[in-house]
Amino acid sequence: MNGKYVKAALDTGFDLPVYKTVRTHAYKSHPWPNVLPVHVEGDLPAGGVKLTAGEEYTQPLSITNSFGVPSMPPDVWQPDLADCVRYAKPGQLVIGSYQGTLPERGGGVTEYIEDFRRGARLMLETGVKAVEVNFSCPNEGTANLLCFDTERSRVVVEAIREELGATPLLIKVAYFKDDTKLRELIRNIGPYVSAISSINTISAEVRKADGEQALPGEGRLMSGVCGASIRWAGLEMVQKLARLRDELGLSYEICGVGGVTVAEDYAAYRAAGADAVMSATGAMWNPALAEEIWNENEEARA
């Protein structure tokens, strides 16, 4: 993905496009295929599910995506992002997303946190007016999601906040089954952030019809599922984040994402307490989605 997609999104009425996740250095993609259809009956349960990858994309649409969060080097993505920032019209905001990379050879936590600091500095150099940091990347392995390590999350957010100064910071978090853990995370990071984006994909075991692993290569049996079947989880998280904001006396905004594939989903997210509503799978399959939302919602137009 690059700025051409962000500009196309801006042109078609998506007013808060996120230039998705880059890193502080070039990083290779997982091998092809990276997107497959999955057939889920109704809602995708949150843990330990086994799915079969299909051959056809059917509605209601759910897919698995597995790219490994590849990145161009900063000398490629920085000018590209800066160009998108300049392209946005009044009332539109391009958000730059990045994540830290686990050090390959030693260095440990200090180096990891330094990478988040460096990412923040690289973002600022582009002139971007809001930064999202991905604390929920499933490709590093579910057990290692940063947002589930609530203490480390606090330390990382503090470091990023120091670098960003007054620039608004959004943190992207995964679906939390455990309410106590979510509360702990929000208590730790809530005071430092302008907004929380939720959710990312939900991990499931994905095999082909013959039982073979659907996506080739180590660590890819478990793969992130997105689209219609995870909408329930996104809505639930928005409600929980709104409650926690009140309980903890915080003021962050909530970007609801997950399973927004038709215009009515926008209203459902707003009713659940989302200040902004986002879509990945739905927007990929229907570039007119934002326009349909504008047309069907008086409130969106206001």
Ligand X SMILES: Cc1cc2nc3c(=O)[nH]c(=O)nc-3n(C[C@H](O)[C@H](O)[C@H](O)COP(=O)(O)O)c2cc1C
**Residues designated catalytic:** 137
Torsional class of 133: left (φ above 0), alpha (ψ -120 to 50), beta (otherwise) = beta
Considering beta carbons, is residue 101 or 281 the nearer one to ligand X?
281
Pairing of strands 95-98, 169-173: unpaired
Cβ 90 vs Cβ 15: under 8 Å: no
Binding of residue 280 to ligand X (CB under 6 A): yes
Considering beta carbons, is residue 190 or 227 the nearer one to ligand X?
227
Min CB(172)–ligand X separation in Å: 5
Binding of residue 201 to ligand X (CB under 6 A): yes
Q: Which 37-96 positions form the footprint of ligand X (CB under 6 A)? A: 65, 67, 69
Torsional class of 65: left (φ above 0), alpha (ψ -120 to 50), beta (otherwise) = beta
Binding of residue 169 to ligand X (CB under 6 A): no
Binding of residue 227 to ligand X (CB under 6 A): yes
- Residue of 14, 85, 279, 289 that binds ligand X (CB under 6 A): 279
- Residue of 164, 169, 260, 268 that binds ligand X (CB under 6 A): 260
Element (H, E) at 112: helix 108-125
Residues sharing a CB contact under 8 Å with residue 72, sequence separation 6 or more, in sequence order: 2, 22, 26, 80
- Residue of 23, 154, 172, 220 that binds ligand X (CB under 6 A): 172
Sign of the CA dihedral running 38, 39, 44, 46: negative
Q: How far apart are CA 34 and CA 32, in angstroms?
A: 5
Binding of residue 196 to ligand X (CB under 6 A): no
Pick the stretch among 7-15, 140-148, 158-166, 273-281 that binds ligand X (CB under 6 A). 273-281
β-partners of residue 203 are 224
Pick the stretch among 23-31, 179-187, 266-274, 278-286 that binds ligand X (CB under 6 A). 278-286
Binding of residue 3 to ligand X (CB under 6 A): no
Considering beta carbons, is residue 45 or 107 the nearer one to ligand X?
45
Cβ 228 vs Cβ 42: under 8 Å: no
Cβ 146 vs Cβ 188: under 8 Å: no
Residues sharing a CB contact under 8 Å with residue 4, sequence separation 6 or more, in sequence order: none
Considering beta carbons, is residue 24 or 65 the nearer one to ligand X?
65
- Residue of 3, 17, 96, 259 that binds ligand X (CB under 6 A): 259
Instruction: List contacts with ligand X (CB under 6 A).
Output: 20-21, 65, 67, 69, 97, 134, 172, 200-201, 226-227, 230, 257-260, 279-282
